[in-house]
């Protein structure tokens, strides 16, 4: 690397560190309201709030890293161009490929970091967060029932108790359960609960109550009065592994025949490549014209990134639904954007300046 290229690289590195710090801070702080709300709902143990925010932030980091190289190049090279340094370099015979070398020196390590996070660390962090939420939900469900508070027990099951006596008996109990298209509502004067963790249920026994069952919006419903009624409320099951495709190890996705898992694996492979592809585009997107400010090309660069990123996300979903044509369309997008970057570089090389 020549003296001029080292000068450009130092400017790029300083710009990348600043951009990355700002974007990571935004990513972390954007998770705080969601995390605090989940902690208030007993979906997360208060003692691991910082760890949970870290897991979720790492899981979302692969979506942020590709744009850091693009923004760093647009900001740094825009400033160099505004100061006249790039014009002086071109006048002295520096071709666009000469200016591309410092960008690649920055992009290659970032691409390696992106590959490690996207293929290993991000799915593991997402799985840790999901399992922690399941464990916290189970712990909350096994805690003593609180009076005057609606408590959830699995999808579509809500329990409300007006008061709890000193011996643990429930007074004025309300239960709502969803069953297919119908809704079941149970009210009782008294009740008791018996947790059965080994069966993943809480056994509840109710006395002197009524059971309503019907379809919301319909006048037809069934009413049953009872002296004693027993029901099981489901307990959240602690998972030893994650079933979501984006939380599974990359090795399992690679060996799977499931189209959705294969689409997720292709997406993970493409994320590090996006760093290099955007670095290739960055040179053309960062060069300003005479009398333009250093940030003149920033809006267009962001537009290119968002169109490219959203198209990649959309084609990932399409690949999971169309296993035959989906992967072809997905990789055609990345090949097409790469060819566009090479074409812009060739044209700039042909005319003796980056555009």
The answer to whether position 148 is within a domain reads no
Whether residue 320 sits in one domain with residue 226: no
The answer to whether position 149 is within a domain reads no
Query: Per the structure, how many domains does the chain have?
Result: 2
Whether residue 226 sits in one domain with residue 133: no
Total-model pTM = 0.73
- The pLDDT score that the predictor gives to residue 284 is 83
The answer to whether position 147 is within a domain reads no
Whether residue 132 sits in one domain with residue 20: yes
CB 334 within 8 A of CB 277: yes
What is the distance between the alpha carbons of residues 26 and 275, in angstroms, rounded to a whole number? 20
268-319 confidence digits (pLDDT tens): 999 999 999 999 898 888 776 666 677 788 888 899 999 999 999 999 999 9
* Full domain range(s) for residue 320: 3-138+241-351
28-42 confidence digits (pLDDT tens): 888 888 777 777 666
The answer to whether position 15 is within a domain reads yes
Residue 331 confidence (pLDDT) above 50: yes
Whether residue 254 sits in one domain with residue 208: no
- The pLDDT score that the predictor gives to residue 156 is 77
Q: Which residues is 160 bridged to in the sheet? A: 174
Whether residue 119 sits in one domain with residue 14: yes
CB atoms within 10 A of CB 230: 12
Whether residue 253 sits in one domain with residue 162: no
Rounded-to-5 percentages of helix, strand, coil across the chain: 60, 20, 20
CB 4 within 8 A of CB 89: yes
The answer to whether position 293 is within a domain reads yes
Dihedral in degrees, nearest 10, Cα atoms 23, 27, 30, 34? 180
Model confidence at 355, in pLDDT bands (50, 70, 90)?
A: very low
Whether residue 264 sits in one domain with residue 217: no
Whether residue 15 sits in one domain with residue 122: yes
* Pairing mode of beta strands 201-214, 170-179: unpaired
């Amino acid at each position: 690397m020549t003296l001029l290229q080292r000068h450009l690289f130092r400017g790029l590195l300083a710009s990348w560190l600043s951009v990355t710090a700002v974007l990571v801070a935004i990513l972390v702080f954007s998770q705080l309201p969601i995390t605090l709300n989940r902690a208030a709902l007993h979906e997360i143990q208060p003692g691991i709030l910082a760890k949970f925010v870290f897991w979720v932030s790492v899981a979302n980091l692969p979506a942020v890293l590709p744009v850091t190289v693009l923004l760093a190049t647009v900001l740094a090279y825009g400033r160099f161009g505004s100061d006249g340094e790039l014009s002086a370099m071109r006048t002295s015979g520096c071709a666009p490929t000469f200016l591309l070398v410092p960008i690649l020196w920055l992009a290659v390590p970032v691409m390696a970091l992106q590959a490690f996070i996207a293929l290993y660390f991000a799915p593991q962090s997402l799985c840790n967060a999901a399992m922690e939420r399941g464990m916290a939900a189970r712990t909350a469900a096994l805690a003593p029932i609180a009076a005057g508070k609606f408590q959830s027990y699995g999808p579509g099951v809500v329990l409300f108790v007006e008061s709890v006596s000193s011996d643990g008996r429930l007074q004025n109990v309300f239960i709502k359960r969803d069953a297919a298209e119908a809704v079941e509502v149970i009210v009782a004067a008294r009740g008791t609960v018996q947790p059965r963790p080994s069966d993943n249920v809480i056994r509840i026994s109710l006395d002197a109550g009524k059971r309503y069952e019907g379809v919301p919006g319909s006048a037809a419903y069934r009413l049953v009065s009872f002296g004693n009624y027993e029901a099981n409320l489901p307990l959240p099951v602690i998972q030893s592994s994650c079933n979501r495709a984006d939380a599974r190890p990359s090795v399992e996705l690679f060996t799977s025949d499931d189209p959705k898992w294969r689409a997720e694996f292709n997406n993970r492979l493409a994320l590090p490549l996006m760093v290099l592809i955007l670095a290739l585009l960055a040179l053309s997107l960062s060069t300003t014209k005479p009398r333009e400010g250093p940030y003149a090309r920033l809006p267009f660069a962001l537009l290119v990134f968002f169109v490219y990123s959203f198209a990649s996300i959309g084609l990932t979903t399409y690949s999971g639904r169309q296993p035959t044509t989906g992967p072809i369309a997905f990789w055609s997008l990345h090949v097409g954007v790469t060819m566009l970057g090479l074409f812009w570089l060739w044209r700039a090389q042909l005319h003796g300046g980056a555009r």
